[in-house]
Amino acid sequence: MDQFSLELFWRLSGGLAAGAIIGLDRNLHGKAAGMRTLGLVALGAATAVCVVTLNGHPADAMSRVLQGLLTGVGFLGVGVIARHGVHDRPQGLTTAAGIWLAAILGAASGAGYYAIVVMALTLGMLLLRLGGRLENSLHARFDGRLTRKLPPEQRDDDGDPPSR
């Protein structure tokens, strides 16, 4: 398939739009990875999947493309995670997860699964818009009563049980 088709246009555009929408949310929250970054991640994922699905490659080629894509995007996500503050707490985890979701949505769009893209994007955006408020209200309401405090000798630096 070397020529332009409407199907190819919709697959690539769907990936780009999904990533750009997530990126807009991140940008509005003052994060470094915004519309352009996440739009390009999703467009790249859609392109990689289109190369496989629209050109008659063997069925196992899709699995290899997705494995490579998700591994590579995982490394990109690690780049936005940093440790800050007095307690050296990680920052950027939501943005990293948004990058990963943008890649998945781009791949789904590239494969032509538009219903999955729309539903997952809607759920993801609801979580990004409402999740923080819900977390804050639960913390304010229960004021730490949801977690059991460990004795000092059983805590690590963050107050959590030591990892094994």
Domain locations in the chain as residue ranges: 6-154
pLDDT digits (tens, 9 = 90+) for 18-49: 999 999 999 998 888 899 999 999 999 999 99
pLDDT digits (tens, 9 = 90+) for 47-70: 999 999 888 888 889 999 999 998
Let me know the angle formed at the C-alpha of 87 by 80 and 34, rounded to the nearest 5 degrees. 20
Q: By the 8 A CB rule, do 139 and 146 touch?
A: no
Residue 130 token pair? 């409402």
pLDDT of 85 reads 65
Indicate whether this model's pTM tops 0.85.
Answer: no
The number of beta carbons lying within 10 Å of the beta carbon of residue 31 is 18
> pLDDT-based confidence at 164, cuts 50/70/90?
very low
Instruction: Spell out the SS3 assignment of the chain.
Output: CCCCCHHHHHHHHHHHHHHHHHHHHHHHCCCCCCHHHHHHHHHHHHHHHHHHHCCCCCHHHHHHHHHHHHHHHHHHHHCCCEEECCCCEEECHHHHHHHHHHHHHHHHHHCCCHHHHHHHHHHHHHHHHHHHHHHHHHHHHHCCCCCCCCCHHHCCCCCCCCCC
